Amino acid sequence: MTDVDVVVVGAGFAGMYMLHKLRKLGFTAQAFEVGDGVGGTWYWNRYPGARCDVESMEYSYNFDEDLQQEWEWTERYATQPEIEAYANHVADRFDLRTDITFSTRVTSATFDDDTSTWRVTTDRGDDLTATFVVMATGCLSSANLPEIAGRESFEGPTHHTGRWPQEGVDFTGKRVAVIGTGSSAIQAIPIIAEQCHDLTVFQRTANYAVPARNAPLDADYISDIKSTYPEFREANKLMIAAFGSRIPAGTDKGVLEVSEEERLAVLEERWRHGGLGFLGGFVDAMLFPEANEKVAEFVRDKIRGVVNDPEVAELLAPQQVIGCKRLCVDTGYYETFNRENVQLVDINKAPIQRITPTGIQTVDRSYDVDMIVFATGFDAMTGALLSIDIKGRGGEALREAWAAGPRTYLGLGVVGFPNLFTISGPGSPSVLTNMIVSIQQHVDWIGDCLTYLRDNDVATIEPTQPAQDEWVEYVNAIASFTLFPSCNSWYLGANVPGKTRVFM
Ligand code: NA7
């Protein structure tokens, strides 16, 4: 007899729905969460301008019709505060908090071969047994703080976008440095620039951003969607990334199969529409370098059209494959570099040497600043999982099993780790899709699986070695047909020094 049937690690959107599902199915469950509130990613990423890049009518749960009917989104893309409020609403509505222990980090999970149960411990002294453990630890939850010499010596405040203080940050009158130009930086920079005295952006790799075209949601649009919400959700599930069924359909042709005129018309229409659907105008933008380059050049031209200083425009114009790193969705990012109080520093050409007590020293000059914002991303997909000491059959450590990169079956289970599930884990569609849809699919699958085990008196389940090997091979084969492996993205773990490069 275990203390609970299931331990759930994390109370973001995955952990919350898992908890709700387990209770409905009659399992006892205990969730642990490091934050002091629910929301996961949307609890931690409070930086100015934080917004979802999937539209709000789609980035929400669909497991309860009343829930989706009663919640009112206000903008095309929801802000972090609104998504966090939604997470809290869900927690209240389904009374989830009673089974979530907050401000508590799970430190270890150890499988006992004799009893076929898990023992879970936390940094607050919890020590409990469970038949199953569900890792709802998130894909982008382990902050990547670069090891830059002298980092600790800086005398002013430093903030990582993914660990933003609850009370917010006052930039008034400050000289601010932002390191990094990924999605978080691209959302934060326009707002920081408006508030601070001056802003210096340290860019290693330029990124592609398409306009969000964010706007308040129209009441007619909301009621139109709500009147057919189940059908709308079904249609989205069938889309390649589980969102965007209302985006005007692209052509069924390749980029190079149409005339220049038609190509520009398709791209222009999607640029005007805004958002992540931009890459879906043609069938092969992520398959062939020549096709991709045409789309990339279209965006570079847009950047050149916005940024006044041609040298700055060229620096901001990315050179890698478009879409290889997750496409960013922006509001006024490139325009921000026309402001007098904003400068761009190319640290690809002149790398940062060290952080000093008063600022940032690159190989060719120093920049005095009052505050540093690290928009340097995450140890994605595996970081949060491997920060827990997980030991499976025979005491095998997950850190060892994954030393050469993560291997899973369906992104849900790992050979040698019975009754352990990873929601939207490495090797699943996960971050290449609308996360909420993929989370719900995994939670529903795990719920069905646990019910089957209980109904059939089966003590443990784990993938077989051939099934896992075939799955990993399959994922790699599909990835190798695409342009995703062509750059140093977090999809590959290539943003974290020393991490094995595997398409996750
Ligand atoms: P990202 O997309 O990983 O971006 C991190 C940025 O930080 C990126 O520009 C990196 O440059 C830069 N970076 C990372 N380490 C360093 C060091 N050591 N020195 C200088 N610059 C560095 O993280 P985000 O938080 O913006 O977005 C993550 C996801 O959240 C995003 O894809 C959306 O799905 C939401 P690099 O490109 O590695 O040269």
The three-state secondary structure class of 401 is helix
181 lines ligand 1 (CB under 6 A): yes
The long-range contacts involving 474-480, CB below 8 angstroms and separated by at least 24 positions, are 475/427, 475/503, 476/503, 479/503
Question: Tokens for 100?
Answer: 């979530």
Is-contact 341 199, C-beta < 8 A? yes
SS (HEC) of 334-366 = HHHCCCCCEEEEECCCCCEEEEECCEEEECCCE
Task: Write out pLDDT tens, residues 443-486.
Answer: 999 999 999 999 999 999 999 999 999 999 999 999 999 999 99
Question: Tokens for 333?
Answer: 């990012």
182 lines ligand 1 (CB under 6 A): yes
β-bridge mates for residue 397, sequence order? 391
User: What letter would DSSP give residue 389?
Assistant: E
| Protein residue closest via CA to atom 17 of ligand 1 | 146
Question: Tokens for 494?
Answer: 């290539």
pTM of the model: 0.97
41 lines ligand 1 (CB under 6 A): no
Is-contact 265 298, C-beta < 8 A? no
User: Of all atoms in ligand 1, which is nearest to the CA of residue 488?
Assistant: 38
324 lines ligand 1 (CB under 6 A): no
Question: Tokens for 61?
Answer: 């749960």
179 lines ligand 1 (CB under 6 A): yes
Compute, in angstroms, the gap from residue 181 CA to the centroid of ligand 1: 6
Compute the distance between CA of residue 392 and CA of residue 459 in angstroms, rounded to an integer.
15
| Protein residue closest via CA to atom 38 of ligand 1 | 495
User: Of all atoms in ligand 1, which is nearest to the CA of residue 377?
Assistant: 23
pLDDT the model gives residue 248: 84
User: Of all atoms in ligand 1, which is nearest to the CA of residue 431?
Assistant: 34
- Give the burial class of 141: count Cβ atoms within 10 A of its Cβ; 0-12 exposed, 13-18 middle, 19 or more buried: buried
Compute, in angstroms, the gap from residue 477 CA to the centroid of ligand 1: 26
Compute the distance between CA of residue 265 and CA of residue 269 in angstroms, rounded to an integer.
6
pLDDT the model gives residue 46: 97
Task: Write out pLDDT tens, residues 214-224.
Answer: 999 999 999 99
430 lines ligand 1 (CB under 6 A): no
User: Which residue type is seen at 55?
Assistant: E
User: DSSP characters for 382-438?
Assistant: THHHHTSEEE-GGG-BHHHHTTTS---BTTTB-TT-TTEEETT-TTSSGGGS-HHHH
Compute, in angstroms, the gap from residue 358 CA to the centroid of ligand 1: 24
User: Which residue type is seen at 75?
Assistant: E
Is-contact 310 279, C-beta < 8 A? no
Compute the distance between CA of residue 379 and CA of residue 64 in angstroms, rounded to an integer.
33
437 lines ligand 1 (CB under 6 A): no
Counting Cα atoms < 13 Å in the Cβ hemisphere of 456 gives 9
pLDDT the model gives residue 313: 98
Question: Tokens for 280?
Answer: 């879906």
Q: Please report, rounded to a whole number, the percentage of residues in the chain having pLDDT higher than 90.
A: 96
Task: Write out pLDDT tens, residues 183-240.
Answer: 999 999 999 999 999 999 999 999 999 999 999 999 999 999 999 999 999 999 999 9
326 lines ligand 1 (CB under 6 A): yes
Question: Tokens for 401?
Answer: 């099993």
376 lines ligand 1 (CB under 6 A): yes
Compute, in angstroms, the gap from residue 105 CA to the centroid of ligand 1: 25
pLDDT the model gives residue 500: 86
Low-confidence stretches of the chain (pLDDT beneath 70): none
